[in-house]
Amino acid sequence: MSGRHPPIPPPTADPSTTTPLRTRFDRRTLLRASAAGAVATAAGGLATACGSAAGQGPGKVAIHGDNATWEAPLQAAGKALQSTAGLQLVPEVIPSLESFEQIVKSSLRTNKTPDLLKYWSGYRLRDLARTGGIEDLSEQWESAESRGWVDPSLREAFTYGGRVYGLPMNLAYWVIFYNPEVFAEHRLKKPETWDDFLTACTRLKDNGITPLHGTTAGRWPAFIWFQEILSRQDPQFYDDLMNGRERYTDPRAERALRTIAGFFDKNWFTSMDVDHNAAAAAVVHGDIGMVACGTWLGGVFAGAGAKPGKTVDAFVLPMADPAARPCVIFESSAFAVTVKGPDKEEALKAAGGWLHPEVATAFAHGLSDGSPNPKVTPANAVIEGVTRQSKDLWLLNRFWEQGPPELVESTVDDLAGMLIEPHSYRGGLRTMQERADEAWKVWREAEKS
């Protein structure tokens, strides 16, 4: 807030004024002053509310995100951007997914919107792009691609109507974390086939270790095992289902949930309220065998005292159907530029330099995660191994970014219900399909208009 107030007119001190008159005058003055003060306060409040979206001054551009752990990596990338493009990135974190999304969606049509956004890819980015609130970055993408600074297979996840609306920030692969020391103790090796994976689960269970972590804590993780099992049983069906070309009531979706229910029957899962932080620590301590998550969980493992390659490693879940095209699920956030941001020119310039190898390296190493720029050296041994393993795999976007956002928001709750009552999957899939019918209808109608 600026601290400025409208001037309050001084009372005219006329010695001849009688007492009642002076009283009335003072009251008026006071009222006027109160009104002025109220206006100033309201204006100040608005200024404060919009302050975060104000311009950053020459040479600086703000990027807004929802993840506090990204602040330091963004600062590191900002330093690199300063030397390569002469621009400084100023990270601004709104550490609540709900608040962040609300602020972005409500401010996008105003000139108080942030300049740069860290957003989701896939349909969530498309949802934003079709509001007309974010810039077309096709030129920046093509420039980066021509220099070999970005994996071309990621383009689809950032495209709407043939145009690119975001640049990939990170590249996390969805993998299974495990503790190599615990595996070695039980004569298990890193699973390379589906049978290896099942053998590992069986043996860990026989030795008193809960083989798999599953959870509904925080809502969104409810999709993880459905995504992993379905994509390994039939990646083409996963891709079609996520894009509204197949139905949840299909026997292939039912088979995936039946497989998960089978895992429950064998008591392979943890209770569904163990969050990822607790699960990571439990893997390090040998209480839980495997945790399915994006490679970004590596930071949590490091925090739990794990040593990459020694007490924590990761593998891409092998294909359940060896004849299917091998795949891996990826997750990549979008670097988007708003149309009405106060420093748009500088924001576009920052987008042009975002995938520069120096910037991408600073960011990926700060984050200890994978990079969309193939020229970046992996941040650690775990990332290196997973990147090598994923090199020739079909990259499929994560469940969370697939399909109309309101459908995903609802279906994660349905999947949570099926994790709590694993054998209720038929009813659950029917509900999901009803939601999908409605959501896809709305989505397609909106695309036409």
Contact residues toward another protein (CB under 8 A) are 20, 23-24, 31, 34, 38, 98, 102, 105-106, 131, 216, 218-219, 222, 271-274, 278, 406, 409-410, 413-414, 416-417, 419-420
DSSP-assigned letters across all residues of 359-386: HHHHHHHHHTS--SSTTSPPSSHHHHHH
Work out how close the CB of 130 gets to another protein at its nearest, in angstroms, rounded to a whole number: 9
Work out how close the CB of 311 gets to another protein at its nearest, in angstroms, rounded to a whole number: 21
Q: Of all helices (H) and strands (E), which one includes residue 314?
A: strand 313-315
Work out how close the CB of 275 gets to another protein at its nearest, in angstroms, rounded to a whole number: 9
| CB nearer to another protein: pick between 109 and 245 | 109
Which of 28, 296, 76, 326 lies closest to 192 in space, CA to CA? 326
Q: Kindly report the CA angle at 175 between 174 and 176, in degrees rounded to 5?
A: 145
| CB nearer to another protein: pick between 196 and 413 | 413
Helices and strands of the chain, counted as H and E runs: 17, 13
Distance of alpha carbon 85 from alpha carbon 350, whole angstroms: 7
Work out how close the CB of 42 gets to another protein at its nearest, in angstroms, rounded to a whole number: 9
| CB nearer to another protein: pick between 216 and 371 | 216
Distance of alpha carbon 57 from alpha carbon 77, whole angstroms: 19
Which of 334, 290, 293 lies closest to 186 in space, CA to CA? 290
Dmax over CA atoms of the chain, in Å, equals 103
Work out how close the CB of 442 gets to another protein at its nearest, in angstroms, rounded to a whole number: 8
| CB nearer to another protein: pick between 21 and 54 | 21
| CB nearer to another protein: pick between 31 and 68 | 31
| CB nearer to another protein: pick between 15 and 20 | 20
Work out how close the CB of 61 gets to another protein at its nearest, in angstroms, rounded to a whole number: 26
Work out how close the CB of 33 gets to another protein at its nearest, in angstroms, rounded to a whole number: 12
| CB nearer to another protein: pick between 75 and 424 | 424
Work out how close the CB of 401 gets to another protein at its nearest, in angstroms, rounded to a whole number: 16
Which of 357, 292, 434, 417 lies closest to 144 in space, CA to CA? 357
> Which runs of consecutive H residues, i.e. helices, occur in 234-380?
235-242, 251-265, 276-284, 298-303, 344-354, 357-367
Q: Kindly report the CA angle at 104 between 101 and 105, in degrees rounded to 5?
A: 85
Q: Of all helices (H) and strands (E), which one includes residue 205?
A: helix 194-206
Work out how close the CB of 432 gets to another protein at its nearest, in angstroms, rounded to a whole number: 12
| CB nearer to another protein: pick between 145 and 413 | 413
Contacts of 202 by beta carbon, 8 Å cutoff, 6+ apart: 211, 266
Query: What are the CA-CA distances from residue 77 to residues 59, 62, 165, 333, 367 (Å)?
Result: 15, 13, 20, 15, 10
Work out how close the CB of 382 gets to another protein at its nearest, in angstroms, rounded to a whole number: 26
Which of 352, 387, 395, 346 lies closest to 368 in space, CA to CA? 387
Tokens of 9: 């007119």
Tokens of 346: 């500088």
Q: What is the DSSP letter of 325?
A: P
DSSP-assigned letters across all residues of 167-203: EE---EEEEEEE-HHHHHHTT-----SHHHHHHHHHH
Query: CB–CB of 85/39 below 8 Å?
Result: no
| CB nearer to another protein: pick between 18 and 146 | 18
| CB nearer to another protein: pick between 358 and 413 | 413
Work out how close the CB of 322 gets to another protein at its nearest, in angstroms, rounded to a whole number: 34
| CB nearer to another protein: pick between 106 and 267 | 106
Work out how close the CB of 405 gets to another protein at its nearest, in angstroms, rounded to a whole number: 8
Query: What are the CA-CA distances from residue 414 to residues 400, 410, 417 (Å)?
Result: 14, 7, 5
| CB nearer to another protein: pick between 138 and 424 | 424
Question: Cβ–Cβ contacts within 10 Å for residue 445, how many?
Answer: 9
